[in-house]
Amino acid sequence: MLWRVPVDLKQILAQGRHYPWPRPDNCLRCHNWHVWGHGYVQRYFDGFTGVILMKCYRCPSCGCVITLRPDSHFPRIRSSVQTIRSHLHHRLTQGCWSSSVLLRSRLRHWLANLRCQIQAHLTNYWRFGLLVGFEELLRSDLIPVARVN
């Protein structure tokens, strides 16, 4: 289970295992009052050359593993929400992709997935622009650039 928390990736990279991670008050699944530290997992993020360690906790009652994730990033996506938003904004307003180190194929996947998400989850699809649809999906706690299942 992912728990999105406000953290600074640069500080995490600099401090490593000594970073002062927030601790959940209870299990996110069964609401047990106690969770144990469960080590770290390695995650990659755009803009960082190596892995960054993310803290994990485990519930002794239900066995749920809670992995912390920066709230600036979507689950399973390396780029920040702001990076995705700015690239999509540039493409939709300027008609071309901005020059960046990101692969064009990734940018095209984001745009195609955004169109599919808007069509799947927002009614009156043609009334919304894609950028407005991006924000509407965010307000609905959906990942605008994730594949539609």
Q: Are 92 and 85 in contact (CB under 8 A)?
A: no
The whole-number pLDDT of residue 2 equals: 94
- pLDDT category at 90 given cuts 50, 70, 90 is very high
The whole-number pLDDT of residue 122 equals: 87
Of 127, 125, 131, give the one whose Cα is nearest residue 145: 131
The whole-number pLDDT of residue 126 equals: 60
- pLDDT category at 68 given cuts 50, 70, 90 is very high
The whole-number pLDDT of residue 147 equals: 93
CA atoms of 88 and 70, how far apart (whole Å) = 21
Q: Are 138 and 144 in contact (CB under 8 A)?
A: yes
% of the chain with per-residue pLDDT over 70: 97
Q: What phi and psi, each to the nearest 5 degrees, are found at residue 50?
A: -115, -170
The whole-number pLDDT of residue 148 equals: 86
Residue 76 gets the label, from left (phi > 0), alpha (psi -120 to 50) or beta, of left
The overall average pLDDT reported for the chain is 93
> 9-48 b/e with 16+ CB inside 10 Å = b?
beebbeeeeebebeeeeebbeeeeeebeeeebeebebeee
Three-state secondary structure call for residue 139: helix
**113-130 per-position pLDDT tens digit:** 999 999 899 877 667 789
The whole-number pLDDT of residue 125 equals: 61
**18-51 per-position pLDDT tens digit:** 999 999 999 999 999 999 999 999 999 999 999 9
The whole-number pLDDT of residue 38 equals: 96
Largest CA-CA distance found in the chain, in angstroms, rounded: 53
The whole-number pLDDT of residue 142 equals: 93
